[in-house]
C-alpha cells in the first residue's frame, strides 16, 4: 500500500469520527432546545466536516481505482468488447439454447477464422521455422499415464461446498474476492486492515487447505449465492474422468495438457531426430480441465486449445543452437522468451501491455523447476497466456519408472573415458554368520554408502581392523570387521554418457491469447454524423478473420460482373473475403466491416476501376479493376505497406460516398 493511500485512509477515518461526533453535538443541542444561532453554527460545521469527508472519500476512491485496477472503467470497456464479440459471433456460450454450460464456449465464424490464423502463424513461427517435430495425440488418456505424470494425485484445486445446497466454490476465489472487495470498495476499513487484506492476497497461493479454511472462517465468508455456511476446503481433481472400452475396467481421463503425449513418445522422437539433442517436439490440441466454478469468460474455461512445445536438452548444456544467430540471448529459456515476444506482438498484442514474469516458488506446478509467464494485461488484470517452464527431467523420469522403458539420451564420447568407480562388496557369508536375520539390513546399508563414507570406513578397517557402523533400518550401531566387506575404487572405460534430458516447455493458451488480442485491438470512434460510437477491431491483416470485403456501390449487372471478377482473383491469390450486396449505405457497410476487423474494403463504383479503403486511417485510393486483388494481397501479406499504396495510387475522397 503506498503512502498516499495510507494517509488518505487515516484521514478518512478521522473525518468520519469528526462527522459522527459533530452529528451527536447537533442532536444534543436540538434536544436541549438551544438557541437557533447556536444550532445553525453547529450544523454549518457539520456540513463543512461532511464535505471534507466526502472530498477525502473521492480522493481515496480515485486512488484505489487507478492504482488498484480501475475496475469500473475496465468493466464498462469489457462489456463493450464482449457485447460486440457475442453479437458478431466471435464467440458465444456453448449449448445456449439449453441455457449453456459454464466454462464451455463456441467460436463462431469470425472467431474461428481468427483462431485458425493464430494457429497457422504459430505453426509457421515455431514448428516450421524452428524445425520442430509435430505430433498429434489423443485426448482420451489411460489413467496409468496421468498417474505417472502426477496429475491423478496432484492436479487439484481446493473446493468448499455450501453446507445446505451443496453448491461448490473454489475456496481461494472466495477469499480473493472477499479481500479484493474490501481493498477496492470498502472505504471505511482502516489502513492496517487494508494492508492485511493486501498481504493475504499476496501469499494466499501458499496456504494449506487448513490455513485457507481458517481464513474463510476468520473473515466469516459464506456461500455467495445463499449466505449459507461453507464446508472446510478439500482437494477436487480437475480432470474429466471417463472409462475406455466396453468392459468399464480401463479408467481414463481427458488430457489436462498436451505435453504428456509428447513425453511418452520421447524415445521414438529421439530416434526420429537421429538421436541428437537438443530437439523440440510440439503439439496443438484440445485440453480439458473440469474447473470448479469457471468465470472470466474465455479466460477460465473447461475445454481449450493448447499449443505446447517440449524442447529437450542435455541438462549439462542448455545453450540454444540458434545462439550464433544472435537473435536473443544465450540460453534456451531466454531464446524462447524472445520468440514468444515476437509471436505475440506480431499477432497484435500491445508491447506495453505484455510482460514476462518469473514465477514465485509457491506458484509453480508440481512438475516445474523454473517458470516464466508471458502475461498480457486485460480488463481482468494481468493474465498468464504463455507459460515457459523448465520441467527439468521430471516427466521423462516419471514415465521411465512407471513404464519400465528407459526414456534417455546418450552422448557418445569421442574417445572412451576412463572413470573411477566405487565398488563395495559386502562378504555375505561373514555377515550372515555375524548378523543372522539382520544380514540383509546390514548389506543394504553398506551398499548405500556414498564415496566419502566408504573411503573412511576402508581407512578405519585398514588401520583398526573394525569399525562401528550405524544401520538406519535397524536403528542401531553394529561392528563391521575387515573380513566382512571389501571396498575399492576401480577404473573402468566408458564409451558414452547416458542421461535423462531436461525439458523447457513453452505452453500457449490459445483462447486466452485470442481474448487479450480482442481487447487490445478493440476501439471506438464517432460516426461521421457524430451521433454514435462505432466499434472497430484493429486486427493486423495476419489475424483478421476476413482480409477484405467487396461492396458493389449499387446493385446493377455491370457492378455485379466486376465484383465477380475481383472475387475470383482474390480467391486465386488466397485472400479470404466477403461480398456485401445488401442495399444499405456504404457508410453502414464500412461500419459493419470495421466491427469484424476487416482491414480492407473494395468498393465497386465503376466497371474499370474501384476504390480500396484501409480500415484504421479510413483512407481510400483508386485502383484499376485488374490491380485491385493484387494490391490488397500485397498489403495483407506484408509485402507492401499501406503508405506504399497511398504514395502510388490516386487518392479518393469519400465526399461522394456517405461515410
Q: Of 4, 322, 297, 315, which is closest to residue 132 (Cα–Cα)?
A: 322
Distances (CA, A) of 328 to 336, 338, 358, 402: 9, 6, 18, 38
Contacts of residue 536, Cβ cutoff 8 Å, sequence gap at least 6: 522, 523, 524, 525, 594, 595, 597, 615, 616
Tell me the pairing of strands 133-134 and 279-288.
parallel
What residues between 119 and 138 interact with its own copies by CB under 8 A?
120, 123-124, 128-129, 131, 133-138
What residues between 374 and 413 interact with its own copies by CB under 8 A?
399, 402-403, 405, 407
The three grid cell numbers given for residue 59, joined into one nine-digit string: 480522493
Nearer to its own copies, 461 or 514 (CB): 514
Nearer to its own copies, 250 or 472 (CB): 250
Using CB under 8 A as the criterion, what x/- string covers residues 247-266 for binding its own copies? x--x-x-x------x--xx-
Candidates 91-99, 315-323, 420-428, 489-497; binding stretch for its own copies (CB under 8 A): 91-99
Minimum distance from residue 389 beta carbon to its own copies (Å): 23
Nearer to its own copies, 327 or 571 (CB): 571
Q: Which residue in the set 3, 31, 97, 414 belongs to the binding site for its own copies (CB under 8 A)?
A: 97
Minimum distance from residue 155 beta carbon to its own copies (Å): 14
By the rule CB under 8 A, 241 interacts with its own copies: yes
Nearer to its own copies, 195 or 565 (CB): 565
By the rule CB under 8 A, 96 interacts with its own copies: yes
Minimum distance from residue 88 beta carbon to its own copies (Å): 8
By the rule CB under 8 A, 553 interacts with its own copies: no
Minimum distance from residue 616 beta carbon to its own copies (Å): 25
Minimum distance from residue 142 beta carbon to its own copies (Å): 5
By the rule CB under 8 A, 438 interacts with its own copies: no
**Measured distance CA(115)–CA(305) in Å, rounded:** 10
By the rule CB under 8 A, 229 interacts with its own copies: no
Query: Cα angle at 625 between 622 and 626, to 5 degrees?
Result: 120
Minimum distance from residue 274 beta carbon to its own copies (Å): 7
Minimum distance from residue 153 beta carbon to its own copies (Å): 17
Contacts of residue 293, Cβ cutoff 8 Å, sequence gap at least 6: 102, 168, 169, 170, 173
Q: Of 1, 4, 46, 50, which is closest to residue 27 (Cα–Cα)?
A: 46
Minimum distance from residue 234 beta carbon to its own copies (Å): 11
Minimum distance from residue 293 beta carbon to its own copies (Å): 8
- Asked if 57 and 187 count as a contact pair (C-beta separation under 8 A), the reply is yes
Q: Residue 480 has what DSSP assignment? A: E
Minimum distance from residue 602 beta carbon to its own copies (Å): 16
Task: Kindly provide the residue ranges of all beta strands, DSSP E only, lying in 436-558, ordered along the sequence.
Answer: 466-471, 476-481, 485-499, 502-509, 522-526, 533-537, 548-552
For residue 29, cis peptide bond before it (omega within 30 degrees of 0):
no
What residues between 98 and 117 interact with its own copies by CB under 8 A?
98, 101-102, 104-109, 111-113, 115-116
Q: Which residue in the set 139, 365, 455, 534 belongs to the binding site for its own copies (CB under 8 A)?
A: 139
Candidates 240-248, 312-320, 373-381, 550-558; binding stretch for its own copies (CB under 8 A): 240-248
**Measured distance CA(630)–CA(569) in Å, rounded:** 8
Q: Which residue in the set 20, 268, 410, 447 belongs to the binding site for its own copies (CB under 8 A)?
A: 268
What residues between 144 and 203 interact with its own copies by CB under 8 A?
144-145, 159, 166-168
> What is the total count of residues that contact its own copies (CB under 8 A)?
79
**Measured distance CA(384)–CA(545) in Å, rounded:** 24
**Measured distance CA(81)–CA(83) in Å, rounded:** 5
What residues between 296 and 315 interact with its own copies by CB under 8 A?
302-303
Distances (CA, A) of 560 to 298, 478, 604: 40, 100, 9
Q: Which residue in the set 176, 481, 578, 588 belongs to the binding site for its own copies (CB under 8 A)?
A: 578
How far is C-alpha 97 from the geometric centre of its chain's CA atoms? 30
Amino acid at each position: 500500500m503506498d503512502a498516499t493511500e495510507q494517509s488518505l485512509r487515516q484521514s478518512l477515518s478521522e473525518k468520519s469520527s469528526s462527522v459522527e461526533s459533530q452529528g451527536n453535538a447537533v442532536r444534543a443541542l436540538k434536544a436541549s432546545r438551544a438557541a437557533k444561532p447556536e444550532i445553525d453554527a453547529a450544523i454549518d460545521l457539520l456540513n463543512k466536516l461532511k464535505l471534507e469527508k466526502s472530498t477525502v472519500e473521492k480522493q481515496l476512491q480515485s486512488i484505489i481505482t487507478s492504482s488498484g485496477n480501475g475496475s469500473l472503467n475496465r468493466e464498462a470497456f469489457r462489456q463493450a468488447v464482449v457485447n460486440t464479440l457475442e453479437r458478431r459471433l466471435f464467440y458465444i456460450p456453448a449449448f445456449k439454447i439449453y441455457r449453456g454450460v459454464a466454462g464451455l464456449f463456441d467460436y463462431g465464424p469470425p472467431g474461428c477464422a481468427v483462431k485458425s490464423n493464430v494457429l497457422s502463424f504459430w505453426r509457421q513461427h515455431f514448428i516450421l521455422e524452428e524445425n520442430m517435430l509435430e505430433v498429434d495425440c489423443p485426448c482420451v488418456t489411460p489413467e496409468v499415464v496421468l498417474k505417472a505424470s502426477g496429475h491423478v494425485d496432484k492436479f487439484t484445486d481446493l473446493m468448499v461446498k455450501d453446507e445446505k445446497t451443496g453448491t461448490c466454490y473454489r475456496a481461494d476465489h472466495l477469499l480473493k474476492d472477499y479481500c479484493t472487495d474490501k481493498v477496492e470498495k470498502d472505504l471505511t476499513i482502516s489502513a492496517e486492515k487494508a494492508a492485511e487484506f493486501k498481504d493475504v492476497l499476496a501469499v494466499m497461493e501458499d496456504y494449506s487447505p487448513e490455513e485457507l479454511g481458517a481464513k474463510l472462517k476468520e473473515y466469516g465468508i459464506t456461500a455467495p449465492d445463499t449466505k449459507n455456511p461453507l464446508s472446510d476446503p478439500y482437494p477436487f481433481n480437475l480432470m474429466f474422468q471417463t472409462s475406455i472400452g466396453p468392459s468399464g475396467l480401463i479408467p481414463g481421463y481427458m488430457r489436462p495438457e498436451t505435453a504428456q503425449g509428447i513425453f511418452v513418445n520421447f524415445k521414438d522422437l529421439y530416434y526420429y531426430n537421429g538421436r541428437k539433442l537438443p530437439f523440440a517436439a510440439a503439439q496443438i490440441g484440445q485440453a480439458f480441465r473440469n474447473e470448479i466454478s469457471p468465470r472470466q469468460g474465455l479466460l477460465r474455461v473447461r475445454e481449450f486449445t493448447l499449443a505446447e512445445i517440449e524442447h529437450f536438452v542435455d541438462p549439462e548444456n542448455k545453450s540454444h543452437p540458434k545462439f550464433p544467430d544472435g537473435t536473443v540471448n544465450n540460453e534456451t529459456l531466454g531464446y524462447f522468451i524472445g520468440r514468444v515476444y515476437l509471436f505475440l506482438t506480431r499477432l497484435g498484442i500491445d508491447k506495453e501491455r505484455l510482460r514476462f514474469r518469473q514465477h514465485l516458488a509457491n506458484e509453480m506446478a508440481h512438475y516445474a523447476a523454473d517458470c516464466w509467464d508471458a502475461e498480457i494485461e486485460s480488463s481482468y488484470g494481468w493474465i498468464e497466456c504463455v507459460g515457459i517452464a523448465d520441467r527439468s527431467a521430471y516427466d521423462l523420469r516419471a514415465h521411465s519408472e512407471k513404464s519400465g522403458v528407459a526414456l534417455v539420451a546418450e552422448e557418445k564420447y569421442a574417445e572412451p573415458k576412463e572413470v573411477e568407480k566405487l565398488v563395495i562388496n559386502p562378504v555375505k557369508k561373514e555377515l550372515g554368520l555375524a548378523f543372522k536375520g539382520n544380514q540383509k539390513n546390514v548389506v543394504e546399508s553398506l551398499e548405500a554408502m556414498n564415496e566419502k563414507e566408504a573411503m573412511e570406513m576402508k581407512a578405519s578397517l585398514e588401520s583398526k581392523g573394525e569399525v562401528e557402523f550405524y544401520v538406519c533400518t535397524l536403528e542401531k550401531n553394529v561392528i563391521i570387521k575387515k573380513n566382512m566387506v571389501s571396498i575399492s575404487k576401480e577404473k573402468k572405460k566408458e564409451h558414452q554418457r547416458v542421461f535423462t534430458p531436461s525439458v523447457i516447455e513453452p505452453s500457449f493458451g490459445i483462447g486466452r491469447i485470442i481474448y487479450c488480442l480482442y481487447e487490445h485491438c478493440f476501439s471506438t470512434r464517432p460516426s461521421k454524423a457524430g451521433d454514435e460510437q462505432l466499434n472497430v477491431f484493429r486486427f493486423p491483416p495476419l489475424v483478421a478473420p476476413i482480409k477484405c470485403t467487396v461492396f458493389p456501390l449499387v446493385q446493377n449487372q455491370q457492378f455485379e460482373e466486376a465484383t465477380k471478377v475481383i472475387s475470383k482473383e482474390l480467391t486465386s491469390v488466397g485472400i479470404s473475403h466477403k461480398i456485401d450486396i445488401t442495399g444499405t449505405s456504404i457508410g453502414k457497410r464500412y461500419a459493419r466491416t470495421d466491427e469484424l476487423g476487416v482491414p480492407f474494403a473494395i468498393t465497386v463504383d465503376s466497371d474499370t476501376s474501384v476504390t480500396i479503403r484501409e480500415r484504421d486511417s479510413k483512407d481510400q485510393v483508386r485502383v484499376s479493376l485488374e490491380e485491385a486483388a493484387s494490391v490488397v494481397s500485397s498489403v495483407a501479406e506484408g509485402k507492401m505497406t499501406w503508405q506504399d499504396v497511398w504514395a502510388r495510387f490516386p487518392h479518393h475522397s469519400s465526399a461522394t460516398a456517405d461515410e
